[in-house]
Amino acid sequence: MGTAMRIQPVHDARAYPAAPEGAPSDAPAGAASATAQAVAVRPVAAPARPVPAVRFARLMRREGPGLLLGALSICLLIGFWYLATTYRWSFYIRFINVPGPVEVFQDASRLFGNEQFMTNITISLRRIMLGFIAATVLGVTMGLLIGRYRRVRQLTFPAMEILRPIPAIAWVPISIMLWPTTETSIVFITFIGAFFPILLNTMHGVATMDSVLVRAARCLGASEFALMTQVVLRGAMPHIFTGLAVGMGVAWVSLIAAEMISGQYGVGYFTWEAYSLIEYSHIVIGMLVIGVLGLLCSGAIRLLARLVMPWQIAAGKENNR
């Protein structure tokens, strides 16, 4: 760790007050030179950056309790599952035919080495990404335009409100007729599931923006394009990411339902096929895979939000104290 050289003035206690202009000075002749010599060069240590181990320790101190609580909740869930299936609880909910965690984990270890099973996971991820990206691009763009311009809202919003309450699963028959392939129709169902949450949250973000920011940008000479991209889009960003998180969850629900009804591959198709073949442990494996994949996708959205909106991290720390 090096040191930075900084010039730091040191004032002599014997320094005399400055005499008025034209008046004789009371300071000795050598006072000026003594004061000049009092300006010394002192080494000042540069602020040290914490090493990765220190940063990791700080992160664990901040996030460790939350991670432990999350792990505890998962352990409690697995423990309840183990007890209910081992002792075959049968109250209002029957665990007689439900496979236990040991059986499920043993079958899962074999399945994850199966090429067909991994192909199902890959196809589901591809479908969710295609549908979700299309919904994000179109939903954010339309949400900004509808929220910003009254005429656009009057033209498009009534039609959107008619289509919005229709469940994504209800679009399956019409999507099979609309699109030439089953693959495209499943991606369309996924798109429908994610589109409306993203659209509505973006519109709400634009509508609740501080109008002072828009007026200030206009006073500074911002063009309409700069206003939309630099002010309106950034101001609506927290609501947009809320819509992305909600839309991702609905997209997974829509995808699995579409794969169960009309798919030939995918995690939803695998789960429904396991039910048809009475392979109960495979049903649970399919459900767990869906949950883990959904968790990873939601975590990716939260990570992206932290990168795009670093100011929200500081605000969140203040609110969580």
User: CA–CA distance from 55 to each of 169, 299, 305, 312 (Å)?
Assistant: 47, 21, 21, 20
Better-predicted residue by pLDDT, 256 or 316? 256
What does pTM read for this prediction?
0.75
pLDDT one-digit tens code per residue, 116-171: 899 999 999 999 999 999 999 999 999 999 988 889 999 998 999 999 999 988 99
The residue type of 213 is: L
pLDDT one-digit tens code per residue, 289-317: 999 999 999 999 999 998 888 876 655 55
CA dist 9 and 39 (Å) reads 5
CA dist 304 and 312 (Å) reads 12
pLDDT one-digit tens code per residue, 259-287: 988 778 899 999 999 988 888 999 999 99
Predicted pLDDT at 34: 47
CA dist 112 and 97 (Å) reads 24
Predicted pLDDT at 169: 87
Backbone phi, then psi, for 305, in 5-degree steps? -65, -40
Which residue's structure tokens are 């828009």?
214
